[in-house]
Amino acid sequence: MKAFEAQNYYQLLKIPMDADLITIKRAYREALSIYGEEALATYSLFPEEQRTQLLQTIETAFHTLIDTHRRTVYDQMLRDSGQVHEAHDPMRTIRTSDASSSRIATCDPQDLRSRVKEKYSDEKIRSMADQIIAKDQISGLELKCLREELGVEISEIFKEMRIPKSTLNHIEADEYASLPVEVYLKSFLKSYAQILQVDSQRVIEGYFRRIALSDG
């Protein structure tokens, strides 16, 4: 059983580093509904002691992130200890502390960003992205095509944004039943759109509209 040790507060609550207060509160409630003492989802999964510890960590994470001052100090600590890259970076990245993945050659986020940017100088790719974004409904398949056209690998998005690869695959395969709950999905789509350098709000809206219409 893995615990929370290797995760920072943002990873623990599954929110991006620039999450606003509402997102943080929602993620906190979600975490409690999973790890709380009366939660069915973890009933009997952890020994009592471990559950108490997990809950304490969640509490600390929440109270740190909703307090502007403590959050600033915490973010500074993450940066100083090299766990995340520069602040105010639109692509703020959480660098993994996991030994197994750091062994794989990591590519520089700056590098990825400029690579994608360069691809967009190609008129064909630019207009493909514009067309997809202009659509009312956006499918995972379309996003996948765009990603491939831009030469971005699933593993790069995983490394940059810590979105599980299986989730990325579900998003791209339009396997709606396997997608995470709304709040996570939104934040994943946002990160995904940021990597592809397209309007994240439109991607989220388009994707959700398509889910809604595919239902029933």
Partner 1 sequence: MPEILPIGGGKGGVGKSFISANLGALIAKRGKRVVLVDLDLGASNLHSFLGITPHRDGLNSFLNKKSSCLENVALPTDHANLYFISSVNCSMEIANLYHAQKLKLLTAIAKLPFDYVLLDLGAGTNFNTLDFFLTSNQGVIVCTPDPTSIENAFRFIKAAYLRSIKHVIKSNGFCETIKNAVLENETPSMTASNIIDMVIRHDPAKEEFLRERISHIKFHFILNQFRKNSDPALGEKLKMVCNRHFYSCFEFLGNIRFEERVPSAIVSKKLFIREHPEAAAASDLYRIAEQLLQKLPGG
Q: List residues near partner 1 by CB under 8 A.
A: 1-3, 33-34, 39-45, 100, 164, 166, 175, 177-178, 180-181
Using an 8 Å Cβ cutoff, are 171 and 192 in contact? yes
- Tokens read off for 118: 């360069």
Burial of 130 (0-12, 13-18, 19+ CB in 10 A): exposed
DSSP 148: H
Cβ-based nearer residue to partner 1, 155 or 178: 178
Using an 8 Å Cβ cutoff, are 192 and 154 in contact? no
CB of 41 to partner 1, least distance (A): 4
CB of 169 to partner 1, least distance (A): 11
Cβ-based nearer residue to partner 1, 7 or 93: 7
Cβ-based nearer residue to partner 1, 3 or 134: 3
CB of 31 to partner 1, least distance (A): 10
Q: Which residue has the tokens 């309007």?
A: 199
- Tokens read off for 117: 């940017």
Cβ-based nearer residue to partner 1, 93 or 167: 167
**Rounded-to-integer distance, Cα 187 and Cα 189, Å:** 5
CB of 186 to partner 1, least distance (A): 14
CB of 85 to partner 1, least distance (A): 24
**Rounded-to-integer distance, Cα 187 and Cα 11, Å:** 12
The closest of 164, 168, 159, 213 to 189, measured between CA atoms, is 168
CB of 46 to partner 1, least distance (A): 8
Cβ-based nearer residue to partner 1, 131 or 178: 178
Cβ-based nearer residue to partner 1, 5 or 136: 5
Using an 8 Å Cβ cutoff, are 199 and 135 in contact? no
